[in-house]
Chains A and B, each alone.
Chain A
């Protein structure tokens, strides 16, 4: 359900950036979603189509890129992508793991006219 608040944030950030660049409309928003961020792209899409009406983003589409979770083993220094939910290093089975990628969700760029 927090996708409604998140989508509003996305729209606000995009509109502020577009206005700062003196653009008259937004045509695309590129969103990077970390696999571990808990953000669901389909929900964002759903709320986006609803919230964008009557704004300078009304003709904008939203592009998603999902970034997989990446971990670093503090014991054997292996870096790896999370393939399953076993949560252990594929080389040494250690659970001494640092999350190095896939935790956040951010707007990479927007396209404006």
Chain B
């Protein structure tokens, strides 16, 4: 009997593929954003609001991850934006190899900003890097203010957190200041946006951040 030290993260194979994806995106000068949230927090709504705001300045594209349906991809496709649907077939997170396949179906030469809508889940996607340049967590007022304490890993990894459905604040008990404090406590570098995809509140600030990220990315 022989004991072999391994000390390898269980996602190490995924991480290697993610690095290849990132290399490919960098060759085409594309900034990729991994959007993560619980089901129904508003990822697709945020994408639609963002598309309306940025479509005349930037060339956008979307990869839609879903367990089974293609409803979200149809919503995006109606806007005339290139979109690829990935059905994970029951898996609760997108994985890097799925993105590799999706990238083959996109017109990479004519994309500035690529959004990846991950499967609605706040645990599993934290473990699977896709090759993205920024991670964004969407959390909504409707879900309550305990999400950062329940899913600390996700919030600690995020470059930005979008608090969506801010229009519901008068109807819901939600400690907004406490939420900010918990998120920045876990993650001092994070940028937080208060947004309502319904009213359009905060979409402009969020889009300015995206433009800034793209600029920073192209400088490096």
Contact = CB atoms under 8 A, between A and B. Distances in A.
B185 A95 contact: yes
A65 interface: no
B126 A9 contact: no
A36 B91 contact: no
Contacts of B128: 2
Given A13-B12, A97-B185, A85 B6 contact: no
B171 interface: no
Interface residues of B, number: 36
Contacts of B95: 5
A86 B9 CA distance: 28
A94 to B, nearest CB: 7
A1 B3 CA distance: 30
Contacts of A110: 3-4, 6
Given A37-B127, A111-B1, A6 B10 contact: yes
B185 A99 contact: no
Interface residues of A, number: 42
Given A1-B91, A87-B148, A104-B9, A94 B185 contact: yes
B153 A109 contact: no
Interface in B110-150: 123-124, 126-128, 148-150
Nearest to A105: B10
Contacts of B10: 6, 9-10, 13, 31, 39, 105-107
B128 to A, nearest CB: 8
Contact of A1 (B11, B92, B156): B92
Of the candidates B6, B7, B11, B184, the one having the most CB atoms from chain A within 10 angstroms of its own CB is B6
Interface of B: 1-14, 90-93, 95, 123-124, 126-128, 148-150, 152-153, 156, 181-182, 184-186, 188
Interface of A: 1-2, 4-6, 9-10, 12-14, 17-18, 21, 23, 27, 31, 36-39, 69, 74, 85-87, 94-99, 103-113
